[in-house]
Amino acid sequence: VRHEVYRRDGGRCTFVGGDGKRCGSRVTLQLDHRIPVALGGSNETANIRLLCREHNVAEGVRIMGEGVMQRASRRGLPAL
């Protein structure tokens, strides 16, 4: 799945901002679940995308809330 997502997303962050521009960063890439597993999302390729760390954390805060992300950070998961 990891290789398929990397190939599909062109090895770049897929985040698209409000201005319609794609981030496209090639550094600190992470796999992101569009629908988090905690909310019923799957580990299938269609539900996973590449995001840079900054956008992955921002999406986590947007979807799960800042408190959840801070607790995850304390447990060693992707941090704020």
Judge whether residue 66 has pLDDT over 60: yes
pTM: 0.80
User: Rounded distance, CA 6 to CA 11, Å?
Assistant: 5
Q: Return the residue matching tokens 């959840």.
A: 68
> How confident is the model over 3-28, as a mean pLDDT?
97
- pLDDT score, position 79: 42
User: Rounded distance, CA 17 to CA 60, Å?
Assistant: 15
* Nearest one of 9, 19, 8, 23 to 57, comparing CA atoms: 23
- pLDDT score, position 20: 97
> How confident is the model over 55-60, as a mean pLDDT?
92
